[in-house]
Amino acid sequence: MSHDTDAAADTVQIPLPELQALARRVLLRQGLSQAHAEAMARTIVAGQRDACQSHGVYRLITCTHSIRSGKVDLQAEPVLAPASGAVVRVDARHAFSPLAFERGLPALLQAARTHGLGALVINRCFHFSALWPEIEAITAHGLAALALTPSHAWVAPAGGSQPVFGTNPIAFGWPRPGPYPFVFDFATSAIARGDLELHRRAGTPLPPGCGVDAQGRPSTDPVAIAQGAMLAFGGHKGSALAAMVEVMAAALIGDWTSAESLDFDAGAGAAPCHGELLLAFDPERLSGQAPAQAQARAETLFAAITGQGARLPSERRYAARERSLREGATVPRALYAEILALAG
């Protein structure tokens, strides 16, 4: 049952177990295996719980579209390659990424503990999710983490107007005392593609500086930008970071760049298909057996940030999480109706 107190409100509050069951039902109905549906529902509901509108239950609609494109393998079990030093490799076999991550996580943690640094390489996955759920799954074990992945070539390099890069998120996490690690997670584009899509659906303009139209002119129209190119955040700096993601999380790990992912898509509009690189760092090993000092230095830094009234990244998300745990996740009413329809 949804707990909808105000019929006139344009949002509904859904208890998290109920939202999880609904997400699972939608995904199973599309033909996904139980294991994929469970892993994807966990990621998607975590997004809505933390008020990440671009990567919450809206993804049930985009994943359904990806499935209907016929490109995604709905049943493939990820294959974990035999252990090889610090590198853990999982072949997702053209299925969605969350299950591949879950299957690779224990070996990644083990590699980081053994070598001080572990690398999880996920290949051949359809990727639709935010990266922070994976980062938090690593920091929960006392490790620092970094994650990179390309997407589809939607973003022009600084000084150009033709798409080359994906929206290429970079996420980082540092474990802290208490339940909430230091985490940031952002697209290297000025706006995430998911947010562009939400603006397109709502018929609202993007902020200035997010993209250019097909003639290379600055635009705030999400439709015109989708036909032209998105822009990197921070000009040449975001552009260089986006290039790094292509090199490190595509070329380096033997997988597709955002341009190759878009070629493979061939207009189907499915989620991007490529790899992901996750690194886990053990403070115990890397700090020379002085993890308490490493922790103390990091806490001094965080206190210097918050002490002057600035906030840490993810604080908004964590506050939303607390609220959702108490009151249920907030879902736009129209979106909820679409999801109920998908669930049959």
C-alpha distances in angstroms, 207 versus 194, 195, 211, 212, 318? 14, 11, 9, 12, 25
Q: Which is nearer to ligand PYC, 48 or 167 (CB)?
A: 167
Closest separation in Å from C-beta 165 to ligand PYC: 11
330 binds, among ligand PYC, ligand NDP, none (CB under 5 to 8 A by kind): none
Q: Which is nearer to ligand NDP, 3 or 236 (CB)?
A: 236
Residue 291 is encoded by which pair of tokens?
A: 């993890």
Amino acid letter, 339: I
- 50, 91, 185, 195: the active-site residue: 195
Nearest to 149 by CA among 241, 18, 85: 241
> For ligand NDP, which residue of 13, 48, 151, 330 counts as binding (CB under 6 A)?
151
CB contact at 8 A, 245 and 258:
no
| Residue 151 designated active-site | no
Helices (H) and strands (E) in the chain, counts: 13, 13
CB contact at 8 A, 164 and 259:
yes
- Please name the residue that has the structure tokens 């509009």: 269
Q: Which is nearer to ligand NDP, 79 or 312 (CB)?
A: 312
| Residue 152 designated active-site | no
Following DSSP, what letter does each residue of 82-143 receive, concatenated? PPBTTEEEEEEEEEEHHHHHHHHHHHHHHHHHHHSEEEEEEEEEE--S-SHHHHHHHHTTT-
- The binding track of 257-296 with respect to ligand NDP, each residue x by CB under 6 A or -, is ----------------------------------------
Closest separation in Å from C-beta 119 to ligand PYC: 22
> For ligand PYC, which residue of 24, 36, 193, 317 counts as binding (CB under 6 A)?
193
Binding window for ligand NDP (CB under 6 A); candidates: 49-57, 109-117, 277-285, 324-332: 49-57
| Residue 54 designated active-site | yes
Nearest to 45 by CA among 20, 12, 22: 20
Of residues 122 through 161, those in contact with ligand PYC by CB under 6 A are: 127-128, 151
Closest separation in Å from C-beta 166 to ligand NDP: 6
Of residues 25 through 84, those in contact with ligand PYC by CB under 6 A are: 54
> For ligand NDP, which residue of 24, 25, 124, 127 counts as binding (CB under 6 A)?
127
* C-alpha of 232 from chain center: 17
Nearest to 26 by CA among 77, 52, 61: 61
Nearest to 175 by CA among 238, 228, 77, 109: 109
> For ligand PYC, which residue of 47, 150, 181, 194 counts as binding (CB under 6 A)?
194
Binding site residues, ligand PYC, CB under 6 A: 54, 127-128, 151, 167, 187, 192-194, 272
Binding site for ligand NDP (CB under 6 A): 52, 54-55, 127, 129-132, 149, 151, 167, 169, 171, 184-187, 192, 194-195, 311, 313-317
What is the set of active-site residues?
A: 54-55, 195
